[in-house]
Structure 1
């Protein structure tokens, strides 16, 4: 028990014999409504983990209000405040009765129409996930005049006319999330070829624009790749919706069939702050780069860009997919972003960009100068394959610092004589040599960390011997010419760095990397793929000795600076 805390029973005994406050006159009930609302939200919101969520979009980790039913029975004052919170973001959960939980919710709104005016966020995706069949109609929407955020499954829409009504005719609606599940929605009329070629006559008006600021497509089943439902979303649907999004700020079309032409149709008045196109395989990469570097909706406002696993298919594959049923999966061959395209994107990146995911983009040493410049403004960065650990070190530290090259791992006599050991002798040798190997590895790591010195200090003659050794042993590609050096990039602002797309051998070199040193501050998180258990234990011991903690998180190894 923490010092200074009072045991619960002592706290209860403290109140025995005290005069109770009259009903409605307690200090808690006398608080302003705003404070009571904050208090109830704090005690009733499901607490999410403190783990860093990289490249997050609004709504990715929104806490749900739970446990407020007991507050309804405390007093009239708390009842009125808790009721507003319950209907602000109602949670549609499974019901033991035969009636649909969604039907029961709208029945309650019918009985008390004032409750419908309290609803701001309505999430029906959980009801669809448990098999609740309910079709949202125009009368249902009219009962929720103040609805701002609607999340529902595609199968819960009455038809294309209802979708257009949500997009264009709901002045209060600001965010729309459509959940697409392959098992549930594969045969939906809206996903069939030609469904969006024509529009209903009543929607053919000149001012057919949308007030939506957020449009997202998700798959609540969590199934990615060809087994998911998002690749069923046709480009025609997106091409029909995006030209109306004059106020769009958040667009999540990951793994859908969106095209660069559909993205380019976004009105110039939109101001995208968050864009997720990860896993999209029908994007022409050159046109995508042109959109990201020239479109007015992006160039002055973009903050988060998820472009991992963006791949371009050959023209004949795109033509085949555009003429066949949308239920077919994208096929090979695919081409990711190239080095020159990455350089073009980084060179014209918006100054507002803070988070960039380029996982699976084909990177190389030619991207190092562009990445160095980008680190001066980015706080989160996910790198693609093709880079080595030395390349990543150069991105964060060169040319501001100089440091020694990595020493090769020291071989032990145990590796040569292991074949002659009996199992019992091998265990005994390992118990002795294992700590010795860890000690040698820690010495090598600390030697590298101590070799990191400012390059200006080395040039002025105040560098250490380790810096001089680094200068003589640096590879040719990192040596500077005798002429005046190029202007130094701004110091790195990175706080999160993902290396999980690098080759496994390169990720294993993290245990001997200068990335673990103080000069990489404010870097706080390094994310790599899950190492073998033995390798993770070694990394955990080495990282812990130099100020980092290593955690095993599912399929990833998570390093956090203490």
Structure 2
């Protein structure tokens, strides 16, 4: 949930005016999908579709890098208890038992209920109307009335002279911006778990007063998560009937979307036509103030040329777009077709992710990047971006997050020149230049010698994974470790070389000035996954003369290792003796320092530059402040690069 970027609605009716024009109670049913509950949700996807959804979410536990990974998005596991967000009626205090008559034991006509209390789901005989009147009262009612036949007269409550009149309470007088921030804290950005209902407090607030109703609608409709096509259909139906609701929407999030949740085959999904290019285009037309559009590979075929043209040219306030993993032929053709359009000189987009859009041609980047003068977040991992396209980024951009990992068309000289001389990257906070050394190399020893000294002090996360490093680079990296929190190292270093990042060198002459003037490092995460099980010297890493695993290497908390080391480390008693544990997710594994309660509360890992993620070692740059989950969680924390 993006609480930091919310702002009052500008250029459209106020929330009070919006509320007055809404039809009767449209909002609670947005989160309730009882009528659309699928008859069979256990069917497996057909062979023509992707084999798994691979939803990944961070887990709040005593140590970092602990995830839940499922084949189906947790937002899609709907049940009657989950989707009903309104509180259920109070249950009767006593259970019932039917006593059959002695003479006719098989009869359900004669006999009686004992005790005479309502059965499960039945709220008393008085609910049975006879010609519009209540015919009788049940035992439960009599018990509540202390065994009296007539309903007691409700005492007249005296009005408290200090009680404010309707609409004049203190909370209702707060400015809309502040009231919205308060209600945002009630929004649960967690998936339903089959037991607890979601956002019950918000449902109650809708019935409190007009002022709170208006502010609550803003909280409900500001960020819309679409886990499957029926939720999208219901949402589209609501904003079609009440177009004022569409003006509230700021984010459309398809990162949890799973097309196989409700339908087992692609033909069934095509027949329902819940989410199609036409309905998606209609949705974008009804959400004119959209700021963030989060897509992924499961809706790539719905992103046709008209939808892309609307996103880039028709939404003036759109700031963040994420096309993570979209690489189908239809998506590629749609993008190529809009290149022939008349593009404006500048676009409003400031955060763009084309992470793993591997099929897009270089012409897309050469057309798009020169028009992003507001750019702050750019993720081009695995794409065909060229040196010329990179240099074409406007100089007035202020890029803080840049991911160029596995961009095989970029050359080392061009990247170094861009980072050294382009004014748009002087305030970088996250930089990833990682590659898979088995298939590609971007930076060799000489390139790193030129690159490391020019990196800005604003940097908090740096990935040099896959580069060819030498022991001489440790002296160049040491100044960076005083402000870096994440560092991914390249190949060919020894454990003794890496250890020098955490302790000063011993002076042979006995001069201890360097040790006295030593500034402690700030590293929380160290990536050593470039080293295979045969290359990583575990004996030295866990040895007595190495400081990396010792307690005084704090604040170092997470060390990433190659996943083939996980079985060995999980069985090793030395890991636990040194105060560490091992965890893994997908194709990644980590050594995680165990938290000592005597050291105070554990660092949650939340940082402003992570935009909602808690754990360390993101492979993908987020474009919206939100909790990590769904396909984005898989790309961030489950895959190597």
Name the TM tier (shorter chain).
0.5 to 0.7
Superposition map of 1:202-281 within 5 A:
203=342, 208-218=345-355, 230-281=357-408
Equivalence for 2:433: 307
Q: Name the SS of the counterpart of 1:231 in structure 2.
A: coil
Relative distance call for 1:128 and 1:516 in structure 2 (3 A) is closer
* 1:136-190 deviation per Cα after TM superposition (whole angstroms, max 9, x unaligned): 676543321221111234433331x6534433453211111124444xx234453
- The residue aligned with 2:188 is 45
- Counterpart Cα distance in 2 of 1:281 and 1:297: 22
Question: Is the Cα contact below 8 Å between 2:186 and 2:201 reproduced in 1?
Answer: no
Residues 1:123 and 2:253 are matched in the alignment: yes
Q: How does 1:525-544 map to 2 (within 5 A)?
A: 525-530=558-563, 531-538=565-572, 541-544=573-576
1:172 is aligned, of 306, 317, 323, to: 317
Name the CA shift for 1:346/1:102 in 2 (closer, same or farther; >3 Å).
Answer: same
Taking a change above 3 Å as real, the CA distance of residues 25 and 289 of structure 1, as seen in their structure-2 partners, is same
The structure where helix makes up a greater share of residues is 1
CA distance in 2 between partners of 1:386 and 1:169 (Å): 50
Distance 2:490 2:190 in 1: 33
Q: Distance in 1 between matches of 2:569 and 2:319?
A: 48
| Contact 2:301-2:330 at 8 Å conserved across structures | no
- Whole-Å Cα distance in 2 between the matches of residues 333 and 559 of structure 1? 29
Return the alpha-carbon distance in structure 1 between the equivalents of residues 232 and 291 of structure 2. Answer: 18
The offset of 1:373, in angstroms, is 2.5
Q: Give the C-alpha shift of residue 380 in structure 1.
A: 0.9
Distance 1:71 1:270 in 2: 39
Question: How far off is 1:275 after superposition?
Answer: 0.7
Q: Which has the higher contact order (CA 8 A, sep 6+)?
A: 2
CA RMSD of aligned residues (A): 3.9
Q: What's the counterpart of residue 557 of structure 1?
A: 590
Tell me which of 524, 527, 537 is aligned to 1:495. 524
After superposition, the Cα gap between the structure-2 partners of 1:290 and 1:310, relative to the gap in structure 1 and judged at 3 Å, is: farther
Alpha-carbon deviations, 1:278-307, whole Å to 9, x = none?
222221122112112221111x21100122
CA 379–239 in structure 1, closer or farther in 2 if over 3 Å, else same: same
2:198 aligned partner: 67
Post-superposition offset of 1:361: 1.4
The answer to whether 1:89 aligns with 2:228 is no
Structure 1 gap segments, 5+ residues each: 1-8, 49-65, 219-228, 312-331, 403-454, 462-484
Task: Confirm or deny: 8 A CA contact 1:169 1:210 kept in the other structure.
Answer: no
User: In structure 2, what is the equivalent of residue 107 of structure 1?
Assistant: 237
1:110 to 1:457, Cα distance in 2 relative to 1, 3 A: farther
- 1:328-347 per-position Cα deviation (integer Å, ceiling 9, x unaligned): xxxx9633311111221111
From 253, 262, 276, give the equivalent of 1:134.
276
Q: 2 CA distance for matches of 1:119 and 1:304? A: 29
Shift of 1:120: 0.6
Deviation at 1:45, TM superposition (A): 2.3
- Please give the alpha-carbon distance, in whole angstroms, between the structure 2 residues aligned to 1:303 and 1:499: 21
TM-score (norm 2): 0.56
Alpha carbons of 1:535 and 1:166: their partners in 2 closer, same or farther (altered >3 Å)? closer
- Cα displacement (A) at 1:357: 1.1
* Pairing of 1:375-414 with structure 2 (within 5 A): 375-399=481-505, 402=506
Structure 1 range deviating more: 370-379 or 31-40: 31-40
CA-CA distance at 1:126 after TM superposition = 4.2
**Residues 170 and 29 of structure 1: is their aligned pair in 2 closer, same or farther, counting only changes over 3 Å?**
same
Aligned partner of 2:340 among 195, 199, 210: 199
Report the counterpart of residue 350 of structure 1 in structure 2: 456
* Alpha-carbon offset, residue 533 of structure 1: 3.5
1:229-257 superposed Cα distances (whole Å, 9 cap, x missing partner): 62112221111111100010000111111
1:543 Cα deviation from its structure 2 partner: 4.5
